[in-house]
């Protein structure tokens, strides 16, 4: 596609349930990022994938969070046993060698 595609755009779930958020980056972009944006907060780095290298998971807030990137393209962010503090917009971005990040429109997660 022309841009970074994320799904679902909105997700409402109950506390304790697992959720999966999907990101389809721009074709040919080797780098993929996940960020979290909470109300009144800046973008918080979660995880970074670059080609076949081991991902940088240093921003994941707890072991309930995990992400994978299959075939160097689509990525899935999984949150297990969701908590109310996980409510946020989860943004995916991809970039090529220029380093410019192109963001998707985000997945808005609400945990009741």
Residues that bind other proteins (CB under 8 A): 4, 31, 35, 40-43, 45, 48, 50, 56, 91, 93, 99-106, 108
Distance CA 110, CA 97 (A): 34
Rounded distance between C-alpha atoms, residue 60 and residue 48, angstroms? 10
User: Among residues 86 and 106, whose Cβ is nearest to other proteins?
Assistant: 106
CA 65-105-15 angle, 5° bins: 35
Nearer to other proteins, 71 or 99 (CB): 99
**Closer to other proteins at the Cβ: 50 or 80?**
50
């Amino acid at each position: 596609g022309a841009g970074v595609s994320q799904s679902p755009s909105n997700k409402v779930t109950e506390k304790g349930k697992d959720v999966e958020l999907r990101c389809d980056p721009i074709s040919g972009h080797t780098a993929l990022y996940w960020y979290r944006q909470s109300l009144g907060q800046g973008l918080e780095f979660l995880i970074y994938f670059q080609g076949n290298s081991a991902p940088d998971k240093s921003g994941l807030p707890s072991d309930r969070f995990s992400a994978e990137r299959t075939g160097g393209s689509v990525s899935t962010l999984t949150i297990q046993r969701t908590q109310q503090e996980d409510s946020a917009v989860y943004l995916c971005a991809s970039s090529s060698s220029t380093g410019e990040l192109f963001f998707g429109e985000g997945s808005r997660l609400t945990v009741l």
